[in-house]
Every structure is written in structure tokens, then in C-alpha cells.
Amino acid sequence: MTTTLITGGAGFIGSHLCERFLAEGHRVICMDNLITGSIANIDHIRDPKFTFIQHDVTEYIYVKGEVDNILHFASPASPIDYLRMPIPTLKVGSLGTHKTLGLACAKKARYLLASTSEVYGDPLVHPQPETYWGNVNIIGPRGVYDEAKRFAEAMTMAYRRFHGLDTRIVRIFNTYGPRMRLDDGRVVPSFIGSVIRNEPLTVFGDGSQTRSFCFVSDLVEGIFRLLNSKEMEPVNIGTEYEMTILDFAKLIQKLAGNSPPIVMKDLPIDDPKSRRPDLTKARQILKWDPQVSLENGLLKTIEYFRGQQAS
């Protein structure tokens, strides 16, 4: 039986990955220190092939037996989290990546790093291809996350070149769906939470900054295909359907059937003006394209959050 270790497995994306790999017949080891993840995200999993280990991956990692795949998804991933925990964010991107890469070497496992579109910073190239080196303020408040992931990519490539490790790197663009935290500060839960509570929606700047949003099931499919491909350099996964944040706020109001006022506040430091992936590589190598429309994905997410509010 194939054994897959997923760090950050009790998080938003990690918990969906645990389900997918279990469905594929893998034995899944979920490792998380629960500083941003939640047992509630995996509590429904009742499978004898599933094991949860509460552990901080910046410390020495011991896993008994064979491990075939390691997916390193442990990290605070929203601005509210990595601004609140800047040093743990840097440590999990550096020490955590080092520890998990070392484990992959010891187990002779395939390794997949969860990187991010934040490595492109506030991009001067649009859309962003994997060949773009980025425009990052390394000493700005967002630099702790951006540089942690850039270092993690460099470390992963170093292990590939020096140790011959079988590696993959996914650069994740804005992803949303069930199991996001309402209080995680990202735009989707923030807007949906405000609408279902009938509170004003906060839009930063003039709302003209753009984003593209990928539903979590599409992301998981892309990650699964990447792991099973032969591509060892970074691959963008996201959607090309781009819209302004102001238009996105209005769409949330429409889909939720409620229209509290929209209030404008100052744009945070280094907030990117645009963010959209070039998906040429994912299409050519992975034969992957997102399948879930923004409207359908948002309706599922709104339904999930309404259930959370009611419980």
C-alpha cells in the first residue's frame, strides 16, 4: 500500500488532500501542530488507513515504516496568520522544509512542496508564468511568508540537484472552498462572513485590484496530477478568470441574496495589484484545467459557512 504523509493535513487544503489520497487507496499520515489547522477538518474521517500525528515539523520528525510520498503543506497561509505569527511562518518554510526534505531522503520518498503565488510578490508581469522571478519586498510585513516560500523552493531544488531527490513544486494561487476559517482574513471568508452576518463588507483601496479564485477540488486535482507527473520544476495551479475585488464583493452579495453596504479602507502595505496565473504549463504537462465555475464554487462555500454559523 502506498503511504503518503501530508504536513499541515488538518488545514483547509491539507484536509481535502487527505480525503483525496485516501480515496485513491493510500495510507495517509496527517501531521499538524494545529496552530492554524483544526481537528474539526479531519474529525469526520473514519478510515483505518488514516493516522493523525500532532507534531511541529520544525522539530525532528520520526515516522515509522515506509513512506512513499511527502506533501509539505504546513504553514500559516493567510495574511492575518503570518502577520500574527511571523517567526513560526519563517521557521516552517525554512526549518520545516529542511526537516521534511531530510525525511524524504531517508525514506526515498517523492516530495511535493506547497509554494504560492506570493513568490511573485506585487507582479510587474501579468499574467504570471513560472519563469517570472517576482517583485517581492523582502523586508515588508508580507515578506515573512513570501521569503519563507521562496527559500523553501530554493531548498527543494537544492535537494533535487545535490541528493537526486524526486521533487515537485506547486505554486498555489487564490483558492477557496469549505473548511476555510471564517476568521482567517482572506477575502472569500471575509466577504461571505460579512454578508451572512449582515455586516458591511470591507474593500481595501478602491477595489480595482484583481484576483482569480480556484475552487479547492480543482486545486487538489492539479496537485494529484503534478505529484504523479515527471515535472520537477514549479507549476502554477489556479484559474485565469480574473475580476476586481469590488466586483467580487458584489458577486458575493448577489449569490448570498443579501446586500449589506460596502466600505472602503486603505490598501495594506505591499498588497498585490493583480494576481492571475499563466496556466500554459499546467495544461501542457498535466492536461489540467479548472472545472468548477466561480458561481458554483461560491454557492457551495456560502452554504458551508452558513452551516458553520448555525452550528
Active site residues: 145
User: Which residues partner with 27 through β-bridges?
Assistant: 3
> How far, CA to CA in Å, does 72 sit from each of 152, 170, 248?
10, 10, 31
Can you read off the three cell numbers belonging to residue 229? 507527473
Q: Which of 186, 170, 217 is nearest to 72 (CA)?
A: 170
Burial letters 140-173, b for 16+ CB under 10 A, else e: eebbbbbbbbbbbbebbbebbeeeebbbbbbbbb
Sign of the torsion angle spanned by Cα atoms 30, 213, 143, 161:
positive
CA distance 57 to 100: 7
Peptide bond into 127 cis (omega under 30): yes
Give the up-direction half-sphere exposure of residue 220: CA atoms within 13 A in the CB hemisphere: 21
Can you read off the three cell numbers belonging to residue 91? 521557521
Residue located via cell numbers 516530495: 111
Q: Exposed, middle or buried, 68 (CB in 10 Å: 0-12/13-18/19+)?
A: middle
Amino acid at position 300, single letter: K
User: Which residues partner with 171 through β-bridges?
Assistant: 115, 236
